[in-house]
Structure 1
């Protein structure tokens, strides 16, 4: 039986911000929370998949910006925009989840 734990869902979204402190914690912590709690916390599976799809997509986009820096210099703008999205959308979606709304991450490729 699944139980509702809105605080854990909010924490899972906000844990992505660990990237700005540790470098990789923003992917590892949500992954661990999703793997351990997806069967026991209501909506954790849906939220965890949305987070991980967003994180994987952002990683791919960051990798694609590298050759754009060498070729056109546009990669720097790409890094700034992606950094902004990576910072803002975990906060926006933490607020959405706390208000019983569905998370929305733009530019996410559905891997999971």
Structure 2
């Protein structure tokens, strides 16, 4: 943990919980088509006015899921030359693992930045 993170006050439990839900709502994609995008989008839209921490983490989760959707589409296209099967599996596993890590960090009150993310929503 960096010195800067230790000095910042932690958001309230309710704020941390909603930020965590923004990250973990992407797991809806397991059961609902396009749930990986719909879950974070709906939660962020509903709760972004509540606290700046929720707004920032909701945007981060949504941007990551947009990046995952683009990477998944490219992987599906690359399935024509076999390498896409491997890439799609890698994207799927990475998406789940990183969403869980983001949810845990947000619940601890620390802002999480996903690696390899194209940040379209500022």
Q: Structures share a fold, TM > 0.5?
A: yes
Q: Indicate the RMSD between aligned Cα atoms, in angstroms.
A: 1.5
1:11 CA drift (Å) = 1.6
Deviation, 1:24, is 2.0
Q: Which sections of structure 2, spanning at least 5 residues, go unmatched? A: 1-10
- Secondary structure in 2 aligned to 1:98? helix
Deviations 1:22-69 (A, max 9, x none): 122232121111112111124111111111110111111111112321
How many aligned residue pairs are there? Answer: 109
Matches for 1:31-110 after TM superposition, within 5 Å: 31-71=41-81, 73-110=82-119
Q: Secondary structure at the match of 2:59?
A: helix
Give the 5 Å matches for 1:6-25. Answer: 6-25=16-35
SS at match of 2:119: coil
User: Structure 1: which 5+ residue stretches go unaligned?
Assistant: none
Per-residue deviation, 1:84 = 0.4
**CA–CA separation in structure 2 for the residues paired with 1:100 and 1:20:** 26
